[in-house]
Structure 1
Amino acid sequence: MAPWTGRMKTSLLGRHVHPAEFSTWEGARRYHERHRRSRETLAHLRATIPERGIEEPLLIGVRERDRHVFVYEGHPRAVIALEMGVPSFPFRWFWDPHLTQVQAEPFPWHVLGR
């Protein structure tokens, strides 16, 4: 069965959906701006998103034990979505710690209102 792909409002980043590797989205942005390869990725996204939007889905994790929701893969896309005011982005999701099992079922939106 193919992975489920949905759309999430960018406004949920920060309030309900957190970066996995950084304490804040601003911290994620600063990190990516400091590293050449990441800077190039950010520049590419800034140039292409106005015309094509975000094409590659972000990968969102939901921790089973406490329902913490986080971006596992796609931090640069999330940073640029926030920066450019992109209204929503495509995403797929998995129950953490089962990273290899991207879900075919719809996202459990109720976890955002814990």
Structure 2
Amino acid sequence: MLFRGDMQTSFLNDRQIRPTEFTRWDNARRAFARGKDRQKVDDLKQSITNRGLRTPIVLGISDRYRDVYVADGHHRAIALMELGADTFPFHWYWIKSFGVRMEHSPFPAEVLHPTGKAVRKTSRWW
């Protein structure tokens, strides 16, 4: 079963958890400001408000640089930020030179915060 945790939404910033498809979160916000992307974010906001975030965001950690990225879920991340959500559910994997593998073990919180208090394990395991 895959590890599933809850992460503080405040860690979705340009220093701790970065977007992979954009150089900065502001660039993602601008890209999602109109058209189909805006509609998708608005639909997600309504869904999250009514039912919560059903699909966890996928985080990747670079084994080489120890950087953390949103690998899947940029629209969900923007929706959560716009809603001011406190936390979000996530899965994670290491980005290694020989490939990636979704992890079953707890997220190494020390890569985000020196105290290691960034992550709360939920009672649910996938």
Q: Report if TM-score (shorter chain) is over 0.5.
A: yes
Task: Specify every segment of 5 or more residues in structure 1 that has no aligned partner in the other structure, as ranges.
Answer: none
Contact preservation (8 Å) 2:60, 2:68: yes
1:112 aligns with 2:112: yes
Contact 1:10–1:86 at 8 Å: present in 2 too? yes
Richer in helix (by share): 1
The number of residue pairs the alignment matches comes to: 111
**Counterpart check, 1:32 vs 2:27:** no
Match of 1:52 in 2: 51
Q: Which residue of 1 aligns with 2:73?
A: 74
Shift of 1:40: 2.3
Query: Larger % of strand: which?
Result: 2
Q: CA deviation at 1:41?
A: 1.3
**Alpha-carbon RMSD:** 1.4
Per-residue deviation, residues 46-79 of structure 1 (Å, max 9, x unmatched): 2111121211000000000110001010000101
Determine if contact 1:29/1:76 at 8 Å carries over to the other structure: no
1:113 maps to amino acid: H
Q: 1:86 is matched by which residue type in structure 2? A: A
**Equivalent-residue separation in structure 1 for 2:83 and 2:60 (angstroms):** 23
Identity of aligned residues (%): 37
